[in-house]
Chain A
């Protein structure tokens, strides 16, 4: 082929199996990026009555693309290690597009820092097949929580805006509309950017976006540990 003659510089032919490295953010041709990814996010909530206002505001602020409705089913698994620390993994699958691979996500600890404008944590997200649940169970993980999240996805450049309502299923496995019970009377708004660790800080972009949403939603960096340290209600 002609493109072969004029092809790009030869890529390193490494023979190594490293699926995590291939799950990278879109970038320009041929440049390999080696490194971990971190997630920068801000969260907030809005009452159900005011969701339409938020949606209209987001439609104006975000890219000129239709908002994408989604239904996700998320299960979190945890493994109690001998030292007492628990490792948590999240498995998420899409009910709207069931042919898409399931996602397995590990989230690291929150990076503390008073001067940080938003939450930052290391994360690893990979696509996987449907038997990931049995795989995790075999490893020793136990299912912790399970919920359904329904809502809309917006984007603005590299910022992902998720407006979702968390529901629980009355019976496990039944995810039809009539079997869902909303967990709260409000919607969760999460604004996040996933980039390489140590790269350019997307904090100011997120902060600016939060400012623009301020009349409707107050997006802050919520300290999860405070929430987690309270007694967890039984689902």
Chain B
């Protein structure tokens, strides 16, 4: 096989086009001839520089001119080099493909020589499939093989990269952990140490306690295979949390601390433990830092409360003993705020105390919110304009300088309500709400008829709640609509409730829920009577007179009834029904009143009906039955109007 390859070479034309004529003919700028290049090179030599006498410069110039001289000798050297490189690469490719397609049996197909054409040699490859395979199939096979190889190479690279990533994941890296930590806390470098800040100073707190921790490298990865270790200040190594409770106590023993309460850790409650720490599972050091930050916040909160307790002198005394603040909020209930401590162990779960009132958690959250508001307020004091004014005044206080306010008004501007006052109010409200809720629930359970619907608001205020109570009689709801829905708005405040009835009456209730029960029972009775009043209009009886809880009915005019009027009254928290008996006209009692119509006043006998024995689902139903039975015939009106 003749391996000679003939190549056609064209020198790289670096001619620039001078102009393109209208007929498309291009005129090229002729490249510089050798003599022209030489002239240019010599022109570049600066004779004056040489005269100044820098030997190295002269040498460099000589070298430069020499390198410029070389292309003169062989302008094709570069081109030759490139061609040789290309040939080498093609040979390598050919060898690779030959190796891939090695088939010892195959013989290269002879190319039929066409007469008249110069003999051309095409690069022959050993065939894959056999001597009969066409060249296109060979090419396809070759391309498939090439693609396969390139895919193999690519997959190898990707796999290597993936393995590298996998390996790095398993190995703990100090810097990666540090980066994770930096996303949560501010770190700074002090000499050789890395210090972090977990205090609330940047959020507006001015608590002087130390909140700095140190980040250390742990080469042994002693804990959880983590190369990072945290060193906390001594005070923050213990867990601290606030526990707020409302406990029953005897009327005179507000100071007595129940010995069973102290020291038993199961009884102390905290939102932090029951809700937050049990849900999140974070890396060891992050958990440590979180509990340290929470402890710091709790300590600040408690110290603020203690400071207020010592300054503030309410009418009901506050007692502060050690880590324990307590006060009597109602004659039989006291509020206890306690700071609890425990050494911290990572991964420790506090048992969930199901008997804890959910409202106590709300109080704790409220207290936390109050301190945060304090922080925000201290940070957001408006700046003084102009700058020589005193700092720290609110806008109202500043403008007060030019307003005609008197001294008490200005003093009131400065007054801030202490946190302890706010939390006591919130605790009172929570306790009162709990009592109202319990009472309403028990009433609703006891009294099946009429129905009581209680609507609670979704968004609640820590010191005020409005509850809407609706009453209705089953089956006869339409009857009450005529007189307006029977409902009551109950506003639960701090020291008592206010009940606003539909007709506008406002009833003030105290903290004792028996009053509320009485009120509701009364409301239910009047509801039933009102419902009956609405019903009788439908069945064509006439309401002669009505007031709250009393009703006098007359039978329909156009029908004969067995009896006369019907009277419904509420007495001693029970409904009593009386029917007038039609007695024959007796002798006249008085000489003055001769008209028989006045007999109504004296000659009537009222008989009580034991309505509970009647058939019917509820009072109104029973009355419905009774009244319809009392009429002999149905009125004509019903027949006439279809």
Residues of A that sit less than 8 Å from B by CB: 2-3, 5-6, 8-9, 11, 13-16, 19, 22-26, 28-30, 63-65, 68, 70, 72-74, 90, 92-94, 96-97, 99-103, 105, 125-129, 149, 153, 155, 157-158, 160, 162, 164, 194
Contacts and interface: CB of A to CB of B under 8 A. Distances in A.
Interface of B: 202-204, 206, 311-316, 379-381, 383-393, 398-402, 407-408, 410-411, 414-418, 421, 424-425, 493-495
Nearest to B463: A2
A125 B390 contact: yes
5 contacts: A64-B379, A125-B388, A149-B387, A153-B387, A194-B390
Contact of A11 (B379, B392, B411): B411
Contact of B386 (A64, A93, A129): A93
Contacts of A15: 407
A183 B543 CA distance: 94
B417 A22 contact: no
Nearest to A17: B407
B170 to A, nearest CB: 39
A101 B402 contact: yes
B389 A155 contact: no
Given A26-B392, A128-B401, A3 B386 contact: no
A164 B417 CA distance: 37
B388 to A, nearest CB: 5
A30 B315 CA distance: 17
A162 B384 CA distance: 11
A14 B193 CA distance: 58
Contact of B380 (A8, A26, A65, A158): A65
Contacts of B391: 25, 155, 158, 160, 194
Contacts of B311: 28-29
A5 B388 contact: no
Given A6-B421, A73-B386, 8 more contacts: A13-B408, A28-B311, A29-B414, A29-B415, A63-B204, A93-B386, A100-B385, A101-B399
A103 B417 contact: no
B interface majority secondary structure = loop
B313 A160 contact: no
A2 B402 contact: no
Given A9-B313, A26-B392, A160-B391, A103 B386 contact: yes
B388 A127 contact: no
Given A6-B314, A29-B418, A127-B398, A97 B385 contact: yes
A127 B315 contact: no
A126 B401 contact: yes
B402 A29 contact: no
Given A101-B398, A155-B391, A8 B386 contact: no
A15 B408 CA distance: 10
Contact of A70 (B379, B386, B399): B386
A131 to B, nearest CB: 10
Given A8-B313, A22-B410, A25-B390, A63 B379 contact: yes
B383 A127 contact: no
B385 A96 contact: yes
Contact of B421 (A3, A23, A90): A3
A132 B399 CA distance: 15
B421 A105 contact: no
Contacts of A92: 386-388
Contacts of B415: 8, 29-30
A2 B316 CA distance: 13
Given A29-B311, A29-B415, A126-B401, A2 B425 contact: yes
A50 B381 CA distance: 29
A133 to B, nearest CB: 14
A5 B495 CA distance: 11
A100 B387 contact: no
B494 A72 contact: no
A19 B421 CA distance: 30
A77 to B, nearest CB: 14
B417 A64 contact: no
Nearest to A100: B385
A192 to B, nearest CB: 10
B383 A155 contact: yes
A-B CB proximity, top 9 nearest: A127-B401, A94-B385, A68-B383, A26-B392, A72-B386, A92-B386, A64-B202, A97-B385, A94-B386
A88 B324 CA distance: 56
Contacts of A99: 399
